[in-house]
Amino acid sequence: MTRDSAASAPGSEARAGRPVGPPPAGSRFGRLLEGGLLHGGVQGSPVLRLFMRWVRRPLLPVMRLWRRNIQLKVVVTTLLMSLGVVLLLGFVVIGQVRNGLLDAKVKASQSQATGGFTAAKQKAEEAAGADGDDSTPADGRPSQNVIQWMSELVKSLSSGGQGAFDVVTLPMGGESGSGRGPRASGSVDWAVSVPEDLRERIDGGTAAAQSYTRIVYNSDQASQPGLVIGKQVNDPNGEPYQLYYLFPLTQEEKSLSLVRGTLATAGLFVVALLGAIAWLVVRQVVTPVRMAASIAERLSAGRLQERMKVTGEDDIARLGEAFNKMAQNLQLKISQLEDLSRMQRRFVSDVSHELRTPLTTVRMAADVIHDARVDFDPVTARSAELLADQLDRFETLLADLLEISRFDAGAAALEAEPIDLRVVVRRVVSGAEPLAERKGTRISVVGDQQPVVAEADARRVERVLRNLVVNAVEHGEGRDVVVKLAAAGGAVAVGVRDYGVGLKPGEATRVFSRFWRADPARARTTGGTGLGLSIALEDARLHGGWLQAWGEPGGGSQFRLTLPRTADEPLRGSPIPLEPADSRRNRGLQDAGLDETGGQRVASHGVDRAVGVPAQATAGQASQVPARGPIPPRSSMTAPTADPTALPGNGARVVPRPVSGARRPDGGPAEGLGRRDTGPEDPSRQGEASRGR
C-alpha cells in the first residue's frame, strides 16, 4: 500500500490528520540558528541581513562562550548529534511499527470489505431475481424498492461488523437523483469522511480502492482516524452505486502513540545521558588543560614555582609531567639569568666603588696640586693642569661607562612623575649658555607658550636634553640653535635644531653608537666621552620614547626626543616632524615649487644623496659651507609652527620624499630595530635613526 509509506513522510499527508513524530520544523530552525545565525553565514537581502544582525547582537556573549569553551562545544555537539541519531532511529522504528500494525489491520479490513462487496452483489442479484419472480406487485414502484433495499443493505452490512466498521453508499458521479441518495450507517458524515479523490477513483473504475481518512460523525462521537475501502457495486436494477467500508483505526493509533511516547521518552533520556557523559568525559580532559593554561599564565606572570598536579600515568599525566619539566627548566634558566644579572650589577657596583675611592683621592690630590701650581715651575704647572683636566675627563668617562653598564644590566630605574618640559629646557639652555657664548651661538626656544607636561624622569630628560643642546652648540659652527617644544596626541617632543656641519648619509643612525665620533680628526672642545648619545638613547628608551636624528651635510641636523605623555603609553607618532620644515630640501622644494619628480632629478645627481641626503643642489656642497642665504632665525622659528606640528599620522612629511628605494643606508642593527617603531611615519625615510624602546 503506497499510502502507508507516504504517511511516514512528515507533512505530506496532512489530510490524514495523524501526527507523525515531533514536528521537525523546530529542529530545522535550530539548525539554521546554529549554522547561519551564530556564524553569520546568512546571506540574502539587506533586510534579512539587518534582521540577522539585530538577532545576533544579544547572541554575541553566547557566541563568545561558544568560541572559548571547548566543553560547551563538545557537549552541545554531542547533544545535537545524538538528538539527530535518536530522531532518525525514532522515525525508522515508528515507521516499522506502524507498517506492522497497519498491515494486519489493512489486510483484515480488505478481506472484510471484499466479503461485504460480494455480499452486496449477492443481495443485489437476489433482489433482482426476486423482483423478476415477483414483479407484478412491485411493478410501478421499482425505485422505491431500490431505495428501501439500499437502506436495508447498509443496515445489514454494517450490523455484520458490530460497530467494527461503518458502511456508506453513495450514488455514482455524485449525482443524487433517482432517489438514491447517500446512506451511511452509524451517523457517519459521509461527505467529510469519504475523500473526494477516492470517490472519483471509484467513479472511474470498477476495482476496489482504499484511502486513509478521518471518520467524522454527525453525532457527538469524536472523529477518529480510519481506513476507507470503496467499490462500485450494482443495485438490483443493475445501476452502479458506490459502496464504502469505513474501518476505524483508533486501536492502532493508540498503540502507535504509545510506542511513540515510549520512544520519545527513551530518546530524551538517551540524549540527556549522552550529554552528561560527554560533559563528564570532556571534563576529564579539559580540567587538566585548563589547569595547565592557568598555571602557564601564572608562570608568565612571574610565579615560577607554580606546578601542575600530576596523578596517574595516562596522557594527561604525561602532559602534566612535561609541563612541569618545562616550568622547572624555565625556572632554572631564569634564576640563572637573574643570578648573572645580579652578579653583573654587583660587579658594576663593586668596580664603581673600588675605582671611585682611589679616583677621589687622586682627584683631590690633583686639585690641591693644581691650586698650588702658581708656585711651580712652568713645566710642572702645566703638568698639574693637564693632570686635573684629564682627571675630569676620566671621571666623566667612568661615570658614563657606569651609567651604560647600569642600562645593560637592566638596573636603571625610571622615576617618572609629571614634569613640565619647559622648565627642564630652560634649565638646560641656561646651563649651556656659557658654552654658547664662547661659540657665539644664540640658543632660542620655540613652542614654550603652553605647558608641555609629561610623565618623565626629570633627571634623565635633563641629561638627554643637555647632551643634545651641548652637541648642537658644539657642532653648530656658531650658528643659531633652536630648541622646539610641542605636545600632541599623547606625546611630547623636543627638537634640537642646529645649522652646523650636519650629518653625512648613514650617520644619523651611527651617532648613537658607543664611542662613535663624526670625524676622528676633529678636535673636540668640550671633551665628550663618546657615550653621551648612547646614554641619551637608553634614557629615551627607558621612558618608552624615541630619540632620533636627522641631518644633511652642511645643512645642520635635528635631534628629536619624543616621550609618551604618560608612562606605559605606547608612542604612535611625534608632534614634531623629524626633518625640519626649513631643511634645505624642504626649502628648495617650496621655493622652486618642485614636485616629487623634481626632487628625484636632483637626488639622482650624486651617490651620497641617493643614499639618503635630502635634495641638495650640487654634489660638491657636501663638504663646504652651504651656499645658502643666511638662515633667518625668525623663519626657522616660525616655519615649524606654521606646519600644524605634523601630528602623527597626518603626514609628518610635508613634502613627499624622493628616492624612497635608495634610502636604506647600511643602516645597521639599530635601524632595523627602530624601523618598526616609526609607526605611521614614512617607513622609507632615511637619514634618521628611529630608535626607541
**Interacting residues toward another protein by CB under 8 A:** 349, 352-353, 356-365, 367-368, 395, 398, 406, 411, 413, 415, 417-420, 423, 427, 431, 453, 458-459, 462
Residue 404 contacts by C-beta under 8 Å, 6 or more apart in sequence? 514, 531, 534, 535, 538
171's enclosing H/E stretch is: strand 166-171
3-state SS assignment for residue 231: strand
Closer to another protein by Cβ: residue 107 or 342: 342
- Which residues make Cβ contacts (< 8 Å) with residue 465, sequence separation at least 6? 424, 425, 428, 483, 494, 496, 561
Q: Which helix (H) or strand (E) holds 183?
A: strand 183-184
C-alpha cell of 505? 648619509
Exposed/middle/buried for residue 578 (C-beta within 10 Å: 0-12, 13-18, 19+): buried
Minimal distance, residue 399 CB to another protein, in Å: 8
Q: Closer to another protein at the Cβ: 263 or 494?
A: 494
* C-beta closer to another protein: residue 357 or 604: 357
Complex with another protein: residue 460 or 657, whichever CB lies closer = 460
- Which candidate, 462, 481, 464, places its Cα nearest to that of 424? 462
Q: Is 244 helix (H, G, I), strand (E, B) or coil?
A: strand
Listed residue (243, 259, 242) closest to 251, CA to CA: 259
Grid-cell match 649651556, residue found: 432
Minimum distance of another protein from residue 542's CB (angstroms) = 13
Minimum CB distance to another protein smaller for 199 or for 406: 406
Residue 308 or 409 with smaller CB distance to another protein: 409
Rank residues 154 and 563 by Cβ distance to another protein and give the closer one.
Answer: 563
Tell me how far, at minimum, the Cβ of 380 lies from another protein, in Å.
19
Q: Which helix (H) or strand (E) holds 623?
A: none
CA contacts within 13 A on the Cβ side of 551:
28
For the purposes of burial, counting CB atoms within 10 Å of the CB of 571, is it exposed (0-12), middle (13-18) or buried (19 or more)? Answer: buried
Q: Sign of dihedral through CA atoms 275, 281, 286, 288?
A: positive
* CA gap 21, 9 in Å, rounded: 10
Please identify, using beta-carbon distances, which residue of 420 and 477 lies nearer to another protein.
Answer: 420
Q: SS3 for 154?
A: helix
Q: What is the DSSP string of 637-691?
A: HHHHHHTTTT-TTS-S-SSPPS-STT---S-HHHHHHHHGGGTTS-TT--SB--E
C-alpha cell at 498: 642646529
Q: Which is nearer to another protein, 70 or 453 (CB)?
A: 453
Q: Which is nearer to another protein, 68 or 353 (CB)?
A: 353
**Rounded to the nearest whole angstrom, what is the least distance from the CB of residue 463 to another protein in the complex?**
8
Instruction: Provide the minimum distance between the beta carbon of 412 and another protein in the complex, in angstroms, as a whole number.
Output: 9
The C-alpha cell that represents 405 in the structure block: 653598564
Closer to another protein by Cβ: residue 201 or 373: 373
Cell of 670: 639599530
Q: How far apart are the first and last CA of the chain?
A: 84
Under a CB-based contact definition with an 8 Å cutoff, are residues 560 and 547 in contact?
Answer: yes
CB of 353 to another protein, least distance (A): 4
Q: Smallest distance from the beta carbon of 401 to another protein, in angstroms? A: 13
Smallest separation, CB 411 to another protein (Å) = 7
| 645 grid coordinates | 606640528
**Would you state the cell numbers that stand for residue 472, as one nine-digit string?**
648642537
Instruction: Write down the least CB distance from residue 468 to another protein, Å.
Output: 16
Between 98 and 370, CB nearer to another protein? 370
- The smaller minimum CB distance to another protein, of residues 406 and 497, is found at 406
d(CA 1, CA 101): 13
